[in-house]
Amino acid sequence: MEPPCRGGTSKTGGRLAKLIHAAGHPFLVASRSGTAPEPFKGVKFDWTDSSTFENPFKADPKIDRIYLIAPAGYLDSLPIVQPSIKLALSKGVKRFVLLTATLSEPGGPGLGKLHEYIASLGAEYTVLRPTWFIGAELRHSNGKIPLIEADDIAKAAFDALYAEKSSNADYYLVGPELYTYDEAAALFTEILGRKIAHKHLTEEEELAIYQSFGLSKDYASVLTAGEGLVTKGSEEAFVRTNKTITGTHTLRQFIEANKQIWIKQ
């Protein structure tokens, strides 16, 4: 049972690797570079290079579960990811844990079709749909967000990977508190001892920023529209549902633990 953490050097993948290591389970960290921090074992995997798809299974043919972080920036990520999933199934993988987002509905744009596909395979699966990460950019929405810390996402992924029985369901992941971006900026100001302001971008400004990252206009429009839904209360609505997992890390704890980063700036 050796899951490659695809995107293993990402915010959540790196934390998940530490949890798996601490629990004594064998695993591989899959990334484009093929490297991993000590003492983890890395293997090269690139979504855009099919010659790398076999690498994890060459490194260890006993892989039977995968934490899946799809490549970002695609209006439909399924065609990019599907070939490697088919290969994984043929190699004996029985469980997938997929990371998407609260607003990524099954069958919808972005990661939605991938979610739908994973759920249709007949394999064991869990889809984790976190809200906005603590530490993400402060954008144009004015709604309250239950900001979640990456450690809480990693813990949910660990639980899904190693649960005795797979949930075969999707879950919203939220933090324990609700903040608007202005309120988050005020908390930064209090803890850091210097004024932190949140600039309210217009939809046009945010659309232009997303496109400057190389995203297509259509995909940038989807992301910008998502911010508009936040203003209308979309993220607040995910706080208490029958499929919500609530983390334990607060924004205050995150800022206080990392304040030296901002104090030095």
Q: Do the Cβ atoms of 198 and 185 come closer than 8 Å?
A: yes
49-72 tens-digit pLDDT: 999 999 999 999 999 999 999 988
pLDDT at 6 over 80: no
Q: Is residue 60 part of a domain?
A: yes
Top-confidence residue, 5 or 63? 63
pLDDT at 257 over 60: yes
209-218 tens-digit pLDDT: 888 888 888 8
Mean pLDDT (whole number) for 75-84: 94
Percent of the chain predicted with pLDDT > 90: 65
Q: With a threshold of 0.95, does the pTM exceed it?
A: no
Q: Lowest mean pLDDT: which of 20-34, 132-146, 219-233?
A: 132-146
Q: Is residue 23 part of a domain?
A: yes
CA distance 115 to 29: 22
Mean pLDDT (whole number) for 89-116: 95
Instruction: Name the pLDDT band for 138 (thresholds 50, 70, 90).
Output: very low
Q: Is residue 19 part of a domain?
A: yes
194-242 tens-digit pLDDT: 998 887 888 888 888 888 888 888 888 888 887 778 888 889 999 989 9
Residue 113's CATH number: 3.40.50.720
The residues, ordered by sequence, that sit 6+ positions from 83 with a Cβ below 8 Å of its Cβ are: 50, 53
Q: Which of 224, 230, 253, 129 is nearest to 181 (CA)?
A: 230
Write out the DSSP string of 20-76. HHHHT---EEEESS----TTS-EEE--TT-GGGTTHHHHH-TT--EEEE-PPSS-SB
Q: Do the Cβ atoms of 83 and 53 come closer than 8 Å?
A: yes
Q: Which helix (H) or strand (E) holds 5?
A: strand 4-6
Q: Is residue 189 part of a domain?
A: no
Q: Is residue 221 part of a domain?
A: no
Q: Chain-wide mean pLDDT for the chain? A: 89
Q: Is residue 234 part of a domain?
A: no
**Structural domain range at position 165:** 4-133+148-174
Q: Is residue 249 part of a domain?
A: no
Top-confidence residue, 177 or 138? 177
Q: Is residue 143 part of a domain?
A: no
pLDDT at 2 over 60: no
Please state the domain count of the chain. 1
Write out the DSSP string of 186-231. HHHHHHHTS--------HHHHHHHHHHTT--HHHHHHHHHHHHHHH
CA distance 156 to 191: 28
Question: CA–CA distance from 197 to each of 3, 74, 142, 203, 257 (Å)?
Answer: 42, 31, 14, 19, 20
Burial, 218: exposed, middle or buried (Cβ in 10 Å; 0-12, 13-18, 19+)?
exposed
Q: What is the pLDDT of residue 141?
A: 63
